[in-house]
């Protein structure tokens, strides 16, 4: 795998005094919190001092999908789907009505 591909599939997130590389595949979901966004990854969480929309705009297109005004999820990390939510990692996250049709279409329900 060349470096450009690896850079395109990862982001650097602040961890104390340094920034660490986190693969986009390892991101479970993003959670809005006023003017900050919590990035929940497989092994830990990070807080980014930017709004959820701004964080989504910086990530590779199509990797994370907005499912609610407060949440975006990595669709590859969805374990289960219920009538009004998604199970991602150990969390249940709501699906907003305005996002429901598009999200369910991308998950390919049979």
Q: How does pLDDT run across 16-54, given as a tens digit for each residue?
A: 898 999 999 999 999 999 999 999 999 999 999 999 999
**What values do phi and psi take at 64, rounded to 5?**
-120, 140
Res. 77: pLDDT tops 90: yes
Beta bridge partners of 20: 13
**pLDDT computed for residue 1 by the predictor:** 47
**pLDDT computed for residue 8 by the predictor:** 66
Whether the model clears a pTM of 0.85, i.e. scores above it, the answer is: yes
Q: Please tell me what DSSP assigns to residue 99.
A: H
Residue 33: give its domain's CATH number. 2.40.50.1020
40: domain range? 27-106
Residue 94 lies inside a defined structural domain of this protein = yes
**pLDDT computed for residue 105 by the predictor:** 87
CB distance 38 to 31 below 8 Å? yes
Structural domain count, the chain: 1
Task: Tell me the average pLDDT across 70-80.
Answer: 94
Residue 16 lies inside a defined structural domain of this protein = no
Residue 92 lies inside a defined structural domain of this protein = yes
Residue 5 lies inside a defined structural domain of this protein = no
Residue 22 lies inside a defined structural domain of this protein = no
Residue 93 lies inside a defined structural domain of this protein = yes
């Amino acid at each position: 795998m060349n470096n450009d591909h690896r850079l395109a599939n990862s982001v650097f997130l602040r961890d104390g005094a340094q920034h660490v590389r986190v693969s986009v595949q390892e991101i479970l979901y993003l959670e809005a919190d006023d003017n900050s966004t919590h990035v929940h990854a497989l092994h830990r969480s990070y807080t980014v001092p930017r709004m959820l929309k701004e964080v989504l705009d910086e990530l590779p297109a199509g990797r994370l999908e907005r499912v609610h005004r407060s949440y975006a999820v990595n669709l590859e990390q969805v374990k289960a789907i219920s009538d009004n939510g998604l199970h991602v990692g150990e969390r249940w996250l709501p699906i907003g009505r305005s996002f429901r049709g598009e999200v369910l279409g991308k998950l390919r329900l049979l």
